[in-house]
Amino acid sequence: MSIGSNVSEHSAALERPSRWSQISFSFEAIAYVLRTTDALVILLSALFGAFSYHWVSQSPLPNLVEYYALGLIASFLYIVRQNGRGYYGFESAAKPDVEITEVMISWLVTTLVLALFAFLLKIGVAYSRGAFLFFVLTAAGGLLVSRRLSKQVLRTAVDRRVIGRRDALLVGDAVELAALEDIDLLRFFGTGNINRFQLAQESDPLVQHSSDVKTLNAVANFVRNNNSSEILLALPWHDTVRIGFIRDQLKCLPVSAKLLPDTQIRTLTNYASSAGQQVLSVEIQRAPLSRGERMVKRSVDIVLGLLALIAFTPIMAMTAVAIKLEGPGPIFFRQTRKGFNGVPFVMLKFRSMTVQENGATVTQATRDDPRVTAIGRILRASSIDELPQLINVLRGEMSLIGPRPHALAHDDYFDKVVGDYAFRHHVKPGMTGWAQVNGLRGATPTVDLIAKRVKMDLWYINNWSPWLDLQIVGKTFFEVLRKRNAY
């Protein structure tokens, strides 16, 4: 059984929001603020070093533009190094302890690189060695102080629920959840105010299974309503059967799912990871496209979709008139299908058949199908019947490129017979896709055909790039001309 869309609220997960929780800051914005703060500290330290040294030595004030440039270069080098080590991530910034060793090593590397540049470019004579020493020492202290202050501010904001991981949630059994103290949650999430979903402790396997399904249905409902991006599991690692079951239930959700170290693992590792990660965890489900990738894809959909809609408006207008003149019935065919994250939407097509199936039973079109109208045969062969889906694209319900959506009746059946079918909902459905331009266009009368299509769709999701989308757009044009499997 997979997670359904009609689920009940899980009372343990929903807390009454405080007046502070109405204020929301994105984690990306926090990272930008932290980077900017470090840049200002380094830049001001460079200027302060110039002023201080020349005031102490009672020498003439140098050209401050040169020291300003020095501060800019130093801040760039320092921030690039720290950013690559996850230093500005919310979880790292919210931890209580200041990373003194990491800050000092990174700043030492930065100053050594600056000295190397000065030597190679022979520009060291432009800077006073005394002023440079003042700059290095002042910046080192300033970076440590600013890090301490930023952590205090973040901790206060977390406690007041001004910020927090509202895009994440915690699922686990009673024992593991109880063992996670506030400091643990701060390490894992950057906040103690995390939405929790507690699994029932039942000795009867059948009762436990039924209870887990209800809880995971509530998890799915919460993820879809709150646009969550990450699920962390707090379960004993030896309970592989339950972990596997939960993973299978979560696969229809386009979120990252990570298994946290249980109490025994935490005792052995003290949260350290041999891979250099901040916290040891096992990613049992990879997230689909990142937020930045989704923004790029959405921007392309809006621009190309709008241009295509304008270009095809005359054809769409003539098609509407032809359908109306052919006989009674609506111009558009509307059918409910599943979109991103399994959320239903109404997909539009030009009506090409005499029937309007949109229920528990939907019969796919076959070659020489008597239900297809005369105009419909032309529309389906040329794919003109798909053009109204440009409206779905501009609404944000579909993308130009992605896995083709199926009728709900077919979705439910395919989900039962094809293991990884639900992963198709990790991205928006498309007007065309990788499967369609590789010969899998049209009906899917057999399980073998749908399995091949799913394999193609999952390859597309795992290998997405803007260039791949452009390739599919070009191949779609030639596929339409070939009229392969178009009936």
Asked if residue 51 and residue 146 are part of one domain, the reply reads yes
The answer to whether 358 and 336 have CB atoms below 8 angstroms apart is yes
Q: Which of 25-39, 99-113, 367-381 has the lowest mean pLDDT?
A: 25-39
- Distance between CA 231 and CA 259 in Å, rounded? 9
How many structural domains comprise the chain? 3
Give the model's confidence band at 14: pLDDT under 50 very low, under 70 low, under 90 confident, else very high.
very low
Tokens of 67: 């020291």
Q: Does the pLDDT at position 47 exceed 70?
A: yes
Say what percent of the chain tops pLDDT 70. Answer: 79
Supply the pLDDT for residue 276.
40
- Distance between CA 377 and CA 368 in Å, rounded? 9
Highest mean pLDDT among 190-194, 229-233, 248-252, 384-388: 384-388
Supply the pLDDT for residue 22.
37
- Distance between CA 335 and CA 386 in Å, rounded? 13
Range of the domain at 389: 291-482
- CA distance between the termini of the chain: 34
* Residue 106 DSSP symbol: H
What DSSP assignment string belongs to 187-231?
A: HHHS-S--EEEEEP--SSHHHHHHHHHHHHHHHHHHHHHHT--EE
Which of 285, 310, 337 is where one domain is finished?
285
Residue 363, sorted as left (phi over 0), alpha (psi -120 to 50) or beta, turns out to be beta
Asked if residue 236 and residue 146 are part of one domain, the reply reads no
Asked if residue 245 and residue 360 are part of one domain, the reply reads no
Supply the pLDDT for residue 164.
58
Residues 217-251: pLDDT tens digits? 999 888 888 878 889 899 999 889 999 999 888 88
Supply the pLDDT for residue 381.
85
Which element (helix H / strand E) includes 425?
Answer: none
Higher pLDDT, 279 or 1: 279
Supply the pLDDT for residue 430.
94
Higher pLDDT, 203 or 6: 203
Q: Does the pLDDT at position 27 exceed 80?
A: no
> How large is the average pLDDT for residues 111-131?
70
Asked if residue 385 and residue 466 are part of one domain, the reply reads yes
Residues 414-439: pLDDT tens digits? 877 777 788 888 889 999 999 988 88
Residue with tokens 């204020």: 23
Asked if residue 230 and residue 265 are part of one domain, the reply reads yes
Give the model's confidence band at 393: pLDDT under 50 very low, under 70 low, under 90 confident, else very high.
very high
Strands (E), 250-355: 256-259, 282-285, 332-338, 344-350
Q: Contacts by 466-472 with C-beta closer than 8 Å and gap 24+?
A: 466/296, 466/297, 466/300, 468/434, 469/297, 469/300, 469/400, 469/401, 472/401, 472/432, 472/433, 472/434, 472/437
Asked if residue 267 and residue 201 are part of one domain, the reply reads yes
Q: Is residue 7 part of a domain?
A: no
- Distance between CA 166 and CA 180 in Å, rounded? 18
Q: Is residue 59 part of a domain?
A: yes
Asked if residue 443 and residue 304 are part of one domain, the reply reads yes
Give the model's confidence band at 188: pLDDT under 50 very low, under 70 low, under 90 confident, else very high.
low
Q: Does the pLDDT at position 16 exceed 70?
A: no
CATH code at 254? Answer: 3.40.50
For β-strands 344-350 and 332-338, DSSP reports them as: antiparallel
Q: Is residue 487 part of a domain?
A: no
Which of 134, 159, 184 is where one domain is finished?
159
Q: What is the pTM of this model?
A: 0.60
**Closest-CA residue to 49 (of 68, 73, 77, 75):** 68
Highest mean pLDDT among 298-302, 362-366, 412-416, 443-447: 298-302
Give the model's confidence band at 305: pLDDT under 50 very low, under 70 low, under 90 confident, else very high.
very high
Residues whose CB is less than 8 angstroms from the CB of residue 160 and which lie 6 or more positions away in sequence, other chains included: 18, 20
Highest mean pLDDT among 12-16, 150-154, 334-338, 408-412: 334-338
Supply the pLDDT for residue 37.
93
Residues whose CB is less than 8 angstroms from the CB of residue 72 and which lie 6 or more positions away in sequence, other chains included: 43
**Closest-CA residue to 93 (of 192, 232, 189):** 189
Supply the pLDDT for residue 332.
93
Supply the pLDDT for residue 24.
46
Supply the pLDDT for residue 46.
86
- Distance between CA 322 and CA 329 in Å, rounded? 12
Asked if residue 440 and residue 423 are part of one domain, the reply reads yes
The maximal CA–CA distance of the chain, rounded, in angstroms, is 98
Asked if residue 274 and residue 129 are part of one domain, the reply reads no
Angle between helices 27-56 and 64-84 (to 10 degrees): 140
Give the model's confidence band at 165: pLDDT under 50 very low, under 70 low, under 90 confident, else very high.
low
Asked if residue 298 and residue 180 are part of one domain, the reply reads no
Supply the pLDDT for residue 9.
39
Q: Which of 213-222, 363-372, 400-409, 456-465 has the lowest mean pLDDT?
A: 363-372
Strands (E), 89-149: none
Q: Is residue 4 part of a domain?
A: no
Which of 260, 285, 310 is where one domain is finished?
285
Q: Is residue 76 part of a domain?
A: yes
Supply the pLDDT for residue 384.
92
- Distance between CA 160 and CA 19 in Å, rounded? 9
The answer to whether 345 and 397 have CB atoms below 8 angstroms apart is yes
Asked if residue 220 and residue 136 are part of one domain, the reply reads no
Q: Is residue 3 part of a domain?
A: no
- Distance between CA 208 and CA 198 in Å, rounded? 12
Residue with tokens 């500290």: 41
Supply the pLDDT for residue 66.
76
- Distance between CA 179 and CA 173 in Å, rounded? 10
The answer to whether 47 and 63 have CB atoms below 8 angstroms apart is no
Asked if residue 338 and residue 273 are part of one domain, the reply reads no
Q: Does the pLDDT at position 211 exceed 70?
A: yes
Q: Is residue 45 part of a domain?
A: yes
Supply the pLDDT for residue 271.
52
- Distance between CA 31 and CA 23 in Å, rounded? 17
Q: Is residue 396 part of a domain?
A: yes
- Distance between CA 462 and CA 293 in Å, rounded? 12
Q: Does the pLDDT at position 124 exceed 60?
A: no
Q: Does the pLDDT at position 363 exceed 70?
A: no
